[in-house]
Amino acid sequence: MFTALHISPLDYKGQKKIKLSFAGRDSEAFHKVNCIEGFAYTKTYRCYYIPYTKEAYSQLKNLYPNIIIEKPTLTGAEATGNVSPQNTGIQEPKTLENNNCADISVALLKHEEVKTESHNTDIQTKPIIKAWFTNRFYIAVTLQYNAAHVAFLKTLKKAEWNKEKRRWIFSAITSNIEKFKQYFNIEIEDKRSEFGNNLTKDNDSTPTDGIVLMPYTDDKTKLFVILPYNVTCISLIKKVKNRYYSKAHSCWVIDNDKEIVKQTVEFFTEAGYKVYKQAVGCEMELYKPTKNKIQLVEAECLNIFPESFRPVAGEYFNKLLDKRYSWNTIKTYVRYFSNFAKYFEYKSLKDIQQKEIELYINMLVKKGISESAQKQIICTIRFYYIEVLRISPQYYRLTQPKKSETLPTVLAFSEIIQIFSKIDNLKHKCMVYMGYATGLRISEVVAVKLSELDFERKTIMVRAAKGKKDRTVMLSDKLALLLRDYISKYEPKRWLFEGQLDEQYSDRSLQSLFKRAFDSTDIKKHVTFHTLRHSFATHLLEAGTDLRIIQELLGHANIQTTVRYTHVSVRDIKNIQSPLDKLGI
């Protein structure tokens, strides 16, 4: 029993081809017919095709004796308008009954007659046409196909046919609007109040001292680059990765990607040009590159100090930066240092004695700070005197708190299922599942990049985790299936989980959504997202996994940190019978 293969004629770049219809590269048909010489794919018509020759058709017939001739693909001029199906003259699909190559001239060449019939449109008839502003810069047009009308639309500046939405678009400049109204004698549906009152004038968006970045019609992944026409600017834009020139819009196009935009801005600003940006509904303004991570963290840290004390705080911040502390550690140290300086009214900290510092810490202990917070405050103060002021450590031997040995909360399997069942969103589900399936910290989950997933080796690379250490964790089969579905639907670019404006997803947002899911259950334990990590380690231990392997998966530097999970594991405890159970009561 041979599966039928659907084919139809295709006019591609002025040459006749045979279009093949099947379900993509994973289909049985693809693996059969890709050996035919001339087999190729066209992005324009989104289909595969083979040459329109007897040899190619004969090979196709040998592979698929049961071939169905479909309706011809509208191409060339037909693809630029709305042709009524009643006027195409297309016959019902039929199956070829023999292997005679002459069938190709009988069945496939019918599209030439169809093309002639479909173009018998009375030019004098008033067209069915509609035009409206899609945004402040472009006008969309839908009309019944007419060769003369299509030829006129092509004369307008930046006019092109949108195959997906089956309509024409052209630039909303004054000259285009006047020509259009004069030719068709119709009004354009005016929604300019939604985008701003001013339309672009001819060439008014190209300043003489720089370039302009503009939105690319409806495609948010691209940007127009309008630049002065000279040798210097052309050579600069050609340095940008993945750039291309759009003949339809008479300007350059780049990817709307942070790195690409940054690269473009650097090339032109270094050459002495200004860079402007123009969003929909807004006036053109000078482009101001966003601050990098260091500038943002520095501004956030120093703004909590009074102006007079910022030189001291800046010296403290720079020393933390030089020591390559993590961003979270830097923020914590600066916050505690701010409280310390504020307590002593921002006076010269060099004059403060150790006894005064001990009284300060004692005051905080009486307020009820935790042991870990007390330890961090001591480290913060010692860092200033020892690392910044270069004072010998022996002068600041502050009493360290005794570490309490608390045990982590662990969820049962039924409780984890109960929490997971409350999450419906696919992205949220993937993030929460990953926390339990891999034991990653919440900051590590949101920091995973697409490039760090390896579906073949079933691993996830965790980069620069706590302590700036890399490690590898396993990628479970169920999580892999879920992630493939998520990536296909959401199409993340850089980070696996992206928030607004393609930025890394916020760990606060992840903590909030997990809390909402937990609050909707009837579990009485104190649970946070980190509880999933504790449950991951404990459940592995109870399943017989070696403690050293668990240590590597969790990224613990000291095995004693991992040993504490043996105190909450019920693998051995549940097998012990309580003396109460032996009483005959």
Catalytic residues: 441, 466, 530, 533, 556, 565
Strands 210-216 and 274-277, how do they pair?
parallel
Cα(467)–Cα(462) distance, integer angstroms: 12
Sign of torsion, CA 196 198 199 204? negative
Dist CA 140 CA 146 (whole Å):
17
Q: Identify any residues that bridge with 19 across adjacent strands, giving them in sequence order.
A: 8, 49
Separation CA 68–CA 3 (nearest Å): 10
- What lies within 8 Å, CB to CB, of 409 at 6+ separation is 525, 526, 527, 531, 534
HSE-up (13 A, CA, CB side) for residue 547: 12
- Distance set, CA 536 to CA 209, 365, 529, 565 (Å): 59, 34, 12, 10
229, 191 Cβ separation under 8 angstroms: no
Q: How many helices (H) and strands (E) does the chain have?
A: 22, 19
**How many residues are listed for the chain in this entry?**
585
- Tell me the one-letter amino acid at 66: N
User: Is-contact 565 408, C-beta < 8 A?
Assistant: yes
Contacts of 216 (CB under 8 A, 6+ apart): 222, 223, 224, 253, 256
3-state secondary structure of 240: coil
Measured CA to CA, the distance from residue 269 to residue 211 in angstroms comes to 10
Neighbours of 138 (CB within 10 A): 22
Q: Which residues pair with 68 in a beta bridge?
A: 6, 95
Residues 56, 413: Cα–Cα separation, whole Å? 59
Question: Beta-carbon neighbour count of residue 80 at 10 Å?
Answer: 21
Q: Is the Cβ–Cβ distance between 57 and 104 less than 8 Å?
A: yes
From the CB of residue 113, how many other CB atoms can be counted at a distance below 10 Å?
A: 12
CA distance 89 to 104: 19
- Rg for the chain, CA atoms, rounded: 34
SS3 508: helix
Q: How far is CA 374 from CA 280, 305, 350, 403, 476, in A?
A: 52, 22, 22, 10, 39
Instruction: Please check whether residue 261 is in contact with residue 253, taking contact to mean a CB–CB distance below 8 angstroms.
Output: no
For residues 229 and 208, give the distance between their C-alpha atoms in angstroms, rounded to a whole number: 10
Q: What's CA 376's distance to the chain center, in Å?
A: 36
